[in-house]
């Protein structure tokens, strides 16, 4: 029987917390570690389910994975197979990122359709178009089979700024002959982290942080010792959590430079915070009021590719808005099923109108009451945890394996801040 969280709401959270390493950086960086036979040491790697699956796939492909200490992993060795395990590959969307290192090192890969969160259609066309332009042949049946005799650099214009599509193209290009230019590239902090890690292995990538990446192919990459950046999605979750519980939280190693747009968006909900070096301090008992647009218009919160508001924080913004005085429109542009969890918030007492799969109107503040809930995906699951912590009474959250795919030791770390949360099997 799967475990569940039991949460007693109504307690302000106070204290200091350090966010984990960026899950969305760790996953492609694990795949990139297979671009060399030499040892790659990864630090600040989150110990979560998605990372465990990626490491298990890497081990299944033949490399040796060693846990050196807490949040530190060594990956080293040769690839012994190019067939990605069916069961493992279907459990996580980023299994497709092993395509690049296997193509670059062995010239072929066979992988099942990747899994991951069910938050709408998540097309793979950008991956396949980019890889085919670099010299890959693709056969699609029950599985995907990709082969390449020689990878050659080329000018690419991606049909969308896909994060994982960009990452696969970059990893394929680093060992291709010649120069590759990727336009309309994703530029999220986790894409930057991957590019910086590859450069530390000897790759030649410029334009990092922009939407035009230039990759000069090299013959060989070497090992590295690399520290993964902070998970800014977790930082945003903790900011929302502090505000709605009327708590007072200091988030260390928060990398505030990655929170500029989030600061503007949370500011529309009346949430303020202070920065001190790498730390963010969310003061307690803020007056949470929606800030109207000029002319008194209802403001809109919407997501977009970086440097826009991250889609993974939309769920957090939704639950936060339920505790804010005023009305706001939230427009989720990128995934048509992301907002389908709001019915659970409505059952808890939230005043939300779901206009269509992409838009909802929220009027607050609402007194939420504890309820029996089920986590549908990582970010909605975290949003339900936040809702339960500010609700009256007790909530039970089932299917927490979804939450633990993205948040390490969440009950333990929130309990240290004063949350009344326990785990039952």
| Burial bucket for residue 293 (CB in 10 Å: 0-12, 13-18, 19+) | exposed
C-alpha 22/C-alpha 269 separation (Å) is 25
Intrachain domains 4-20+230-424 and 23-227 with the same fold: yes
Q: How far apart are the first and last CA of the chain?
A: 7
Q: pLDDT band at 376, cuts 50/70/90? A: confident
Share of the chain above pLDDT 90, in %: 84
CB 76 within 8 A of CB 63: yes
- What's the mean per-residue pLDDT of the chain? 93
CB 389 within 8 A of CB 422: no
- Strands 300-302 vs 326-331: parallel, antiparallel or unpaired: parallel
Q: What is the mean pLDDT of residues 367-391?
A: 94
Q: pLDDT band at 144, cuts 50/70/90? A: confident
Q: Of 56, 95, 51, 101, which is closest to residue 78 (Cα–Cα)? A: 101
Answer CATH for 4-20+230-424 from 3.65.10.10, 3.40.605.10, 3.40.47.10, 3.40.50.300: 3.65.10.10
Q: pLDDT band at 115, cuts 50/70/90? A: low
| Burial bucket for residue 412 (CB in 10 Å: 0-12, 13-18, 19+) | exposed
The pLDDT score that the predictor gives to residue 92 is 87
* pLDDT of 1 above 80: no
Domain boundaries, the chain: 4-20+230-424, 23-227
Q: What is the mean pLDDT of residues 191-214?
A: 98
Q: Which CATH class is domain 23-227?
A: alpha beta
Q: What is the mean pLDDT of residues 186-202?
A: 98
Q: pLDDT band at 119, cuts 50/70/90? A: very low
The pLDDT score that the predictor gives to residue 76 is 96
Q: What is the mean pLDDT of residues 151-168?
A: 94
The pLDDT score that the predictor gives to residue 118 is 40
* pLDDT of 117 above 90: no
The pLDDT score that the predictor gives to residue 120 is 40
CA distances from 394 to 177, 238, 271, 397 (A): 60, 21, 26, 10
Give the residue numbers annotated as catalytic, written as ranges.
117
C-alpha 42/C-alpha 117 separation (Å) is 25
This prediction has a pTM of 0.93
């Amino acid at each position: 029987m799967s475990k569940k969280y039991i949460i007693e709401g109504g307690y302000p959270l106070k204290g200091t917390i350090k966010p984990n390493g960026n899950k969305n950086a760790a996953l492609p960086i694990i795949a990139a570690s297979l671009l060399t036979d030499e040892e790659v040491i990864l630090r600040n790697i989150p110990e979560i389910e998605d990372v465990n699956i990626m490491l298990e796939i890497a081990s299944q492909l033949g490399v040796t994975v060693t846990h050196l200490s807490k949040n530190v992993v060594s990956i080293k060795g040769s690839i012994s197979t190019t067939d990605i395990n069916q069961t493992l590959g279907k459990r996580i969307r980023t299994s497709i990122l092993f395509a690049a290192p296997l193509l670059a090192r062995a010239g072929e890969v066979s992988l099942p359709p990747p899994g991951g969160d069910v938050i709408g259609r998540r097309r793979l066309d950008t991956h396949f178009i980019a890889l085919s332009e670099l010299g890959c042949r693709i056969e699609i049946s029950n599985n995907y089979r990709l082969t390449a005799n020689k990878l050659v650099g080329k000018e690419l214009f991606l049909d969308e700024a896909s994060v994982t599509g960009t990452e696969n193209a970059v990893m394929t290009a680093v060992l291709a002959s010649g120069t590759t230019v990727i336009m309309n590239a994703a530029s999220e902090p986790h894409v930057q982290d991957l590019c910086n890690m590859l450069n530390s292995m000897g790759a030649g990538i410029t334009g990092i942080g922009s939407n035009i990446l230039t990759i000069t192919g090299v013959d060989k990459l070497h090992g590295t010792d690399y520290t993964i950046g902070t998970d800014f999605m977790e930082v945003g979750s903790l900011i929302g959590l502090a505000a709605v519980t009327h708590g007072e939280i200091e988030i260390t190693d928060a990398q505030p430079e990655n929170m500029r747009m989030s600061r503007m968006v949370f500011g529309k909900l009346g949430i303020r915070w202070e920065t001190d070096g790498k730390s963010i301090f969310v003061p307690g008992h803020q007056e949470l009021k929606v800030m109207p647009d000029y002319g008194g218009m209802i403001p809109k919160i919407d997501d977009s590719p970086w440097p826009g508001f991250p889609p993974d924080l939309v769920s957090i913004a939704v639950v936060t808005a339920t505790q804010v005085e005023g009305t706001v429109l939230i427009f989720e542009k990128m995934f048509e099923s992301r907002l389908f969890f709001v019915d659970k918030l409505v059952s808890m007492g939230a005043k939300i109108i779901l206009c269509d799969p992409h838009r909802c109107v929220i009027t607050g503040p609402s007194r939420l009451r504890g309820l029996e809930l089920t986590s549908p995906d990582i970010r909605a699951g975290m949003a339900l945890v936040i809702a339960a912590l500010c609700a009256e009474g007790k909530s039970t959250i089932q299917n927490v394996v979804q939450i633990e795919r993205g948040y390490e030791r969440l009950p333990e770390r929130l309990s240290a801040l004063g949350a009344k949360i326990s785990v039952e099997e």
